[in-house]
Structure 1
Amino acid sequence: MPATPQPDDERRAGSPGELAPGTDRLQEPRRDDCPWCGSAQLRTRLRMPDLVQHKPGTFAVDECRDCAHAFQNPRLTAEGLAFHAHDPQESRLGIDGFAERLLAARDSARRHRAAARAMLPFPEPESWLDVGTGHGHFPEAAREIHPYTSFDGLDATGRVERARAAGRVEEAHQGLLTDPGVLARLRSRYDVVSMFHHLEHTPDPRAELRAAMTVLRPGGHLLIEVPDPDCTFGALLGKWWVPYGRPRDLHLMPLRNLLAELESLGCVVVATDRREPHTPYDIAGAVTLALTRVMPAADAPWRAVLPTVFGRGLRSVLVGAATPLVATATALDHTLAPLLRRTRFSNAYRIIARTTRSPA
Structure 2
Amino acid sequence: MPSRPRPIHDPRRDDCPWCGSKRLRTRLRSPDLRHRRPGTFVVDECRDCAHAFQNPRLTPEGLMLYDSDGDPRFSRGRLRATARVMLPFPEPESWLDVGTGDASFPRAAKELFTYTAFDGLDPTPRVERARAAGRLDEAHRGRLTTPEVLARLRGRYDVVSMLHHLEHTRDPKEELAAALTALRPGGHLLLELSDPASASATVLGKWWHPYDQPRHLHLIPLANLRTELEAQGCDIVSTDRRTPHTPHDLSTAVALRLAGSRLRPLTGPAVTLAAALDHLLAPALRRTRFSNAYRVVARKTARARPS
Report how far residue 245 of structure 1 moved. Answer: 3.1
Residue number in structure 1 paired with 2:26: 44
Cα contact 2:259–2:267 (8 A) shared by 1: no
- Is 1:170 aligned with 2:115? no
| SS across alignment from 1:236 | helix
Aligned equivalent of 1:119, options 49, 63, 86: 86
Partner of 2:44: 62
Amino acid at match of 1:72: Q
Alignment of 1:238-277 (within 5 A): 238-277=205-244
- Among 262, 269, 282, the residue aligned to 1:324: 269
Kept in 2: contact 1:127–1:191 (CA 8 A): yes
The equivalences for 1:1-360 within 5 A come to 25-88=7-70, 103-104=72-73, 107-295=74-262, 318-357=263-302, 360=306
CA distance in 1, matches of 2:11, 2:250: 34
Contact 1:188 1:359 in 2 (8 A): no
Say if 1:29 and 1:74, in contact at 8 Å, map to a contact too. Answer: yes
Q: Which structure would you say has the larger Rg?
A: 1
Q: Distance in 1 between matches of 2:89 and 2:128?
A: 30
Residues in 2 aligned to 1:129 and 1:41: alpha-carbon distance in whole angstroms: 37
User: 1:87 Cα shift?
Assistant: 4.4
Question: Cα offset for 1:325?
Answer: 1.2
Q: Which deviates further from its counterpart, 193-202 or 322-331?
A: 322-331
Spell out, residue by residue over 1:294-325, the C-alpha distance to the aligned partner (whole angstroms, 9 max, x if none): 24xxxxxxxxxxxxxxxxxxxxxx54433111
Kindly provide the CA deviation profile for residues 94-130 of structure 1, in whole angstroms up to 9, marking residues without a partner as x: xxxxxx6xx32xx221111001101011111110000
Using the size of structure 1 for normalisation, the TM-score is 0.82
Contact 2:233 2:305 in 1 (8 A): no
TM-superposed deviation, 1:273: 0.6
Q: Which amino acid aligns with 2:90?
A: P
Whether the 8 Å CA contact 2:232–2:305 is kept in 1: the answer is no
Q: Deviations over 1:175-219 (max 9, x none)?
A: 110011111111110000000000000000000000011110000
Per-residue deviation at 1:235? 0.8
* 1:49-107 Cα deviation digits (max 9, x unpaired): 0000111111000000000000000111111110111145xxxxxxxxxxx6xx32xx2
Equivalent residue letter for 2:243 = E
Structure 2 residue identity aligned to 1:33: D
1:245 maps to a residue whose letter is D
Secondary structure, counterpart of 2:246 in structure 1? coil
Q: Distance in 1 between matches of 2:266 and 2:37?
A: 25
8 Å contact from structure 2 (residues 167, 193) kept in 1: yes
Summarize deviations over 1:306-356 as a string: whole Å, max 9, x none: xxxxxxxxxxxx544331111100100000001101111000000000011
d(CA) in 1 for partners of 2:244, 2:116: 23
Query: How many residues align structurally?
Result: 302
For residues 118 and 305 of structure 2, the distance between their equivalents in structure 1, rounded to whole angstroms, comes to: 21
> Is contact 2:84–2:112 with CA below 8 Å preserved after alignment?
yes
Gap runs ≥5 in structure 1: 1-20, 89-99, 296-317
- Distance (Å, rounded) in 2 between the aligned partners of 1:359 and 1:40: 28
In 1, Cα distance between the equivalents of 2:213 and 2:88?
35
Deviation (angstroms), 1:292:
1.4
Aligned-partner Cα distance in 1 for 2:61–2:68: 14
CA distance in 1, matches of 2:172, 2:7: 23
Q: Structure 2 stretches of 5 or more lacking a match?
A: none
Bigger fraction of residues in helix: 1
Change (3 A) 1:243 1:59: same
Partner Cα distance (2:190, 2:243) in 1: 14
**Stretches of 4+ moved more than 3 A in 1?**
none
Q: What is the CA–CA distance in structure 2 between the aligned matches of 1:247 and 1:279, rounded to whole Å?
A: 21
Residue 55 of structure 1 aligns with an amino acid whose one-letter code is: R
User: Percent identity between the aligned chains?
Assistant: 64
